[in-house]
């Protein structure tokens, strides 16, 4: 069986790509199944509820030794379900500058720096003259809008806009759809704060040290941070400890106003961030425009590698 999957706790981009690519494989005579691992993001839950369509199964345990895997929206062997043997991955798509892809020795790789992996999937399907189902198109459109922060962040390319415009010809969404989707992931409270941050945490090992960038993307970022200041600090300290993180960074993105608030909770991390971004050394920093986590990582990594020498 061909298993189509993404990284642990997939976001809307990973899930949209899985759904659309699995549809395409099945339509072209390759029996395939989409599975996820962990818990999908709040945005995924919103689109699932909006469409009433979710042809993706939660997986746990072992796979069959005959299974072959297609990875979408990831090319990171550390981010996928641990029971997937890297040599059984036959194809992968990602849109980030990555790094450890040589482990996937048998995979056909499509890694191109566009705003959303969904854009790569749309282009592949259009190239094969295959039209996604309307529900799959809603997922793909949502993924592009989400990853590009409604075409506002600097990872957005003309290819993302083209793909989104094409998808709009397949579907009919209400005018307030994007706002509703963004609102859906902004329902942050003292009760779900830990879960929301943990769900989208990114951890890498750099020169033997665990480094993490936690990110949330919401509307009304500053009022939310102010309202839940104490709880935020509590959750960040807890995660740093629980996950045994040496350098820990938190990045909040305001989806509608288009800025970040970056937080650190220890002096070492504060120093690294200050050097990475050329900003004053302080625990809290607000940016003028959106800085995505995938843009933050290479800057942090460069400082840490220099630091070690």
Find the shortest distance in angstroms from Cβ 41 to Mn ion.
11
Find the shortest distance in angstroms from Cβ 288 to Mn ion.
24
**x/- binding map, residues 36-75, to Mn ion, per CB under 5 A?**
-------------------------------------x--
Radius of gyration over alpha carbons of the chain, in Å? 19
In the complex with Mn ion, the residue whose CB is nearer, 157 or 224, is: 157
Here the tokens at position 78 are: 């550390």
Residue located via tokens 């409270």: 189
In the complex with Mn ion, the residue whose CB is nearer, 140 or 236, is: 140
On the 0-12 / 13-18 / 19+ scale of CB atoms within 10 A, 258 is: middle
254 binds Mn ion (CB under 5 A): no
The whole-angstrom separation of Cα 184 and Cα 172 is 20
| Helix ranges (DSSP H) in the chain | 12-27, 42-51, 117-127, 134-147, 158-168, 177-184, 193-199, 221-227, 229-242, 267-277, 293-308
Find the shortest distance in angstroms from Cβ 28 to Mn ion.
24
Region binding Mn ion by CB under 5 A among candidate stretches 8-16, 27-35, 181-189, 225-233: 8-16
144 binds Mn ion (CB under 5 A): no
117 binds Mn ion (CB under 5 A): yes
Region binding Mn ion by CB under 5 A among candidate stretches 13-21, 183-191, 245-253, 301-309: 13-21
Region binding Mn ion by CB under 5 A among candidate stretches 116-124, 155-163, 190-198, 275-283: 116-124
In the complex with Mn ion, the residue whose CB is nearer, 137 or 236, is: 137
**Nearest residue relative to Mn ion (C-beta):** 13
> Hey, which residues does 213 pair with through a beta bridge?
202, 249
Region binding Mn ion by CB under 5 A among candidate stretches 44-52, 109-117, 128-136, 269-277: 109-117
In the complex with Mn ion, the residue whose CB is nearer, 73 or 217, is: 73
**Which residues have C-beta within 8 Å of that of residue 87, sequence separation ≥ 6?**
104, 105, 106
Here the tokens at position 203 are: 């951890």
Provide the edge-to-edge strand list for the sheet that holds 201-206.
201-206, 209-218, 247-254, 259-264, 284-286
3-state secondary structure 198-244: HHCEEEEEECCEEEEEEEEEECCHHHHHHHCHHHHHHHHHHHHHHCC
Using CB under 5 A, pick the residue from 2, 8, 9, 13 that binds Mn ion. Answer: 13
Find the shortest distance in angstroms from Cβ 261 to Mn ion.
22
In the complex with Mn ion, the residue whose CB is nearer, 117 or 225, is: 117
Find the shortest distance in angstroms from Cβ 270 to Mn ion.
28
Here the tokens at position 24 are: 């395409």
Contact residues for Mn ion (CB under 5 A)?
Answer: 13, 73, 117
């Amino acid at each position: 069986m061909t298993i189509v999957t993404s990284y642990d706790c997939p976001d809307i981009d990973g899930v949209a790509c899985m759904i659309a690519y699995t549809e395409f494989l099945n339509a072209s005579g390759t029996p395939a199944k989409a599975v996820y691992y962990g818990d999908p993001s709040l945005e995924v839950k919103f689109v699932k509820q909006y469409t009433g369509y979710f042809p993706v199964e939660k997986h746990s345990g072992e796979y069959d030794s005959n299974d072959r895997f297609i990875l979408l929206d990831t090319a990171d062997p550390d981010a996928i379900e641990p029971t997937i043997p890297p040599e059984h991955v036959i194809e992968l798509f990602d849109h980030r500058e990555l790094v450890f892809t040589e482990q996937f020795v048998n995979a056909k790789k499509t890694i191109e720096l566009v705003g959303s992996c969904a854009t790569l999937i749309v282009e592949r399907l259009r190239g094969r003259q295959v039209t996604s189902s309307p529900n799959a198109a809603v997922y793909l459109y949502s993924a592009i809008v989400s990853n590009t922060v409604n075409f506002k962040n600097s990872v957005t390319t003309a290819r993302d806009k083209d793909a989104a415009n094409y998808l709009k010809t397949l579907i009919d969404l209400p005018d307030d759809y994007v706002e509703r989707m963004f609102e859906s992931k902004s329902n942050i409270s003292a009760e779900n704060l830990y879960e929301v941050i943990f769900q989208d945490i990114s951890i890498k090992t750099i020169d033997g040290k665990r480094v993490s960038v936690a990110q949330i993307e919401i509307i009304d970022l500053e009022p939310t941070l102010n309202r839940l200041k104490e709880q935020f600090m509590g959750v960040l300290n807890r995660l740093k400890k629980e996950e045994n993180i040496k350098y820990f960074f938190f990045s909040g993105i305001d989806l509608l106003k288009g800025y970040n608030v970056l937080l650190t909770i220890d002096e070492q991390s504060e120093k690294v961030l200050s050097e990475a971004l050329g900003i004053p050394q302080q625990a809290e920093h607000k940016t003028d425009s959106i800085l995505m986590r995938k843009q933050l990582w290479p800057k942090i990594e460069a400082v840490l590698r220099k630091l070690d020498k």
